[in-house]
Amino acid sequence: MILILVFLLIVAAVALGVLAFAKPKTKTKVEKRLKRSREVASRVSFEAIEEEPDPSQSKYLAILEARLKPIAERRLSPEQELALIRRLHAAGDYRTTAAQFVARQLLWACILPIFWIASNWLVLNLSPIVAIAVAIACFFVGYILPSERLKTLTERRQNLIIKAMPTTLDLLTTCVEAGLSLQAAMAKVVELGKPHPLRDEFERTLKEIQLGRPRGEALRELGKRAALKELNSVAVAMVQAEAMGSSIAKTLRVQSEMLREARWQRAQEMAQKAALKLVFPVVFLIFPTIFIIIFGPLLLSLFFGK
């Protein structure tokens, strides 16, 4: 009996030693789950201030997207979902989830080939090989179309934010110099500002702070949300100035001057690119018209004149 107890104690000691020094196999999974939980927690404020469903979307398309949503959820990895959410937020779309966006891509990838097949069957009557090739092309175009539209909306929104940033920072500087805190100055900008993407971002940041998110974290998220390095640098500068106790008004004024200088340099670059962009229309559209007007009557008189 004593030998059995000693043997069991030895086995227990060895097992405890193995458990103490061995690397858990599920550590990577636990870290991924913790990281995922932090990312979900960082988006709680977005979900808490979510608006009503998009009224511009058709009811029937919404029903079809809901049917395709489980398929989209199976295709999405956590990294892809987070990247898609960042892209949607950069475009100003806080209603659509990543699974809904992928379902929309699948929906359009099915709608365009069906529309093409119906058109070919009713009107065109092309050969089967051509019809199949065009249907495959329509499938890829339909899948890429929502992504390209999202990219266009993001670029347009970023341009609007960049144009409005110097003026908005000047207004923030004036409010801070008048004695308001940074949060109160942002609230005043939201109150007095016209509907604009930058104003909407400030409003969302204020709502996040009211929901309990730390102000520094909310300001950093403001910089990341629009996917703009200019706005991100301004947000980081405000957080650092507030943390170090330096003058926020002076920091905002410096950032405003830097943004105006960067905008002027960007305008000069676009002006220099304009000459290159005008080459194609000038050579292929304007010059042929001028040649026809100048040499057309001459050629007509040479060939048909008496």
pLDDT for position 301: 82
pLDDT in tens, 293-303: 888 888 888 88
Rounded Cα distance between 150 and 108, Å, is 14
pLDDT for position 156: 92
Q: Which of 81, 101, 99, 90 is nearest to 204 (CA)?
A: 90
Rounded Cα distance between 92 and 197, Å, is 8
Domain boundaries along the sequence of the chain: 158-272
CA distances from residue 61 to 37, 144, 182, 229 in whole angstroms, order as listed: 31, 17, 43, 35
pLDDT for position 306: 52
pLDDT for position 40: 44
CA distances from residue 271 to 160, 164, 276, 278, 285 in whole angstroms, order as listed: 19, 20, 10, 11, 21
pLDDT for position 305: 64
pLDDT in tens, 61-80: 778 777 778 887 887 888 88
Check if the beta carbon of residue 250 is closer than 8 Å to that of residue 176. no
Q: Has this prediction a pTM greater than 0.75?
A: no
Question: Residue 109 half-sphere exposure, CB side, CA atoms within 13 Å?
Answer: 15
pLDDT for position 153: 92
In a structure prediction context, what are the per-residue pLDDT tens digits for the chain, which is 306 residues long? 443 433 443 444 444 343 333 444 444 444 554 445 444 444 444 444 444 445 555 676 778 777 778 887 887 888 888 888 999 988 888 888 888 888 888 888 888 888 888 888 888 788 888 888 888 998 899 899 999 999 999 999 988 988 888 888 888 988 888 888 888 888 988 888 888 898 999 999 999 988 888 888 888 888 888 888 888 888 888 888 888 878 888 888 888 888 888 888 888 888 888 888 888 888 888 888 888 888 888 888 888 765
Which amino acid type is present at position 176? V
Q: Which of 69, 106, 104, 99 is nearest to 81 (CA)?
A: 99
Question: Residue 261 half-sphere exposure, CB side, CA atoms within 13 Å?
Answer: 6
